[in-house]
Amino acid sequence: MIEPDHKPRLFADDAAIRRIGEGLLACTLAKADWTHEAHLATCAWLILERPEILPERDLPAIIRRYNESVGGVNDETQGYHETITQLFIRGVRRSLKRSEGAGGLAARVNALLLGEEGRREWPLRYYSRERLFSAEARLEWADPDLGRALPVP
């Protein structure tokens, strides 16, 4: 299920990650810049540098607000996805734990992006496509259906 030609767009420096995160919070980030890599980098930045923001609690509203600011809709078929967001937060936390003491923000984010948790298809290790992309999983947390234990952050 994991794509064999995984080639993420890496970040050149810490400032590039902070720009994405701050742009998301301010709803000034260009829609084209809100990529898969930007989602994960922002989550890592929030965990590492913005302790007043708890991703599990606050990121859903932050992403919904941003989506609406760029003309998006958050409903059962598009926009914010609860299960994917919460699962990737777990993955980001797990990757950051492994990389403690291994460099600055960009080094740790790039290690995340190059690791298993950085892959777009990573959630399919735990979920069937049908379940993961269901309206239920988009709107609220859905337990995995493939019988694998979820990662511990």
What's the pTM value of the predicted model, to 2 decimals? 0.94
- In the chain, where are the structural domains located? 14-139
Q: What percent of the chain has pLDDT over 90?
A: 92
The CA distance from 4 to 18, in Å, is: 29
Q: What Å distances lie between residue 87 and 1, 11, 16, 32, 131, CA to CA?
A: 16, 22, 24, 23, 14
pLDDT tens across 37-84, in order?
999 999 999 999 999 999 999 999 999 999 999 999 999 999 999 999
